[in-house]
Homo-oligomer: A and B are copies of this chain.
Amino acid sequence: MVNKVILIGNVGMDPEVRTLEGGAKVARIRLATTERLFDRQANEAKEHTEWHTITLWRGLADVVDRFVRKGSQIYVEGRLRTREWMDKDNNKRYTTEILADTMNLLGRRSDNPASEGAPAYGGQQQGGYQQSGYQQPTAAPQPQPQSAAPSAPADDPDDLPF
């Protein structure tokens, strides 16, 4: 009932972005998360880097296309998805990936490798808002770097009848 993944890490290589025949955009990212852990056997600190494959569709793929590069630090929220495929020897193989529901660019805009020589954004306010999700198929054109689309209904807490 709940299948949630939350990652913060650095992108290992420039993302792959494709457009399907039907017009849907898909992006794939390799993301590294590094943790320190203590090796009980060796009685010493070690570091472990885990590499994640993340798939992003439509609006999120578009944000990736425009703003994510090798080295970008990002936040991803999504779900685990195991795909089944056949290898060259016709053996069933499984690959586990993260299907993204939300993505945010982290750090300052100047951190972003994609900001070098990037489109000017005409000095606009550009929002800096960074929540994005699949929930917004009707997302307006997205001039903001680091952003996909509005995320939530504005149910006014002042209206509360309690």
The answer for the CA separation of A131 and B37 in the assembled complex, in Å, is 10
Which among A28, A51, A106 has the greatest number of chain B C-beta atoms within 10 A?
A: A106
The answer to the question of A116 belonging to the interface, with a C-beta cut-off of 8 Å to chain B, is no
The answer to the question of A121 belonging to the interface, with a C-beta cut-off of 8 Å to chain B, is no
A75: min CB distance to chain B, Å = 6
Q: Are A154 and B6 in contact (CB under 8 A)?
A: no
Q: Are B104 and A2 in contact (CB under 8 A)?
A: yes
Q: Count A interface residues, CB 8 Å.
A: 80
The closest CB in chain B to the CB of A152 belongs to: B37
The answer to the question of A14 belonging to the interface, with a C-beta cut-off of 8 Å to chain B, is no
Further contacts, 14 of them, CB under 8 A, given A1-B130, A20-B159, A50-B82:
A1-B8, A2-B8, A3-B50, A4-B7, A5-B80, A8-B106, A37-B151, A45-B150, A46-B154, A55-B155, A55-B157, A57-B153, A87-B91, A108-B111
A-B contact pairs, 15 of them (CB 8 A): A2-B9, A4-B5, A4-B7, A8-B104, A26-B160, A34-B129, A35-B129, A36-B127, A40-B153, A41-B154, A47-B129, A81-B157, A83-B158, A96-B96, A97-B157
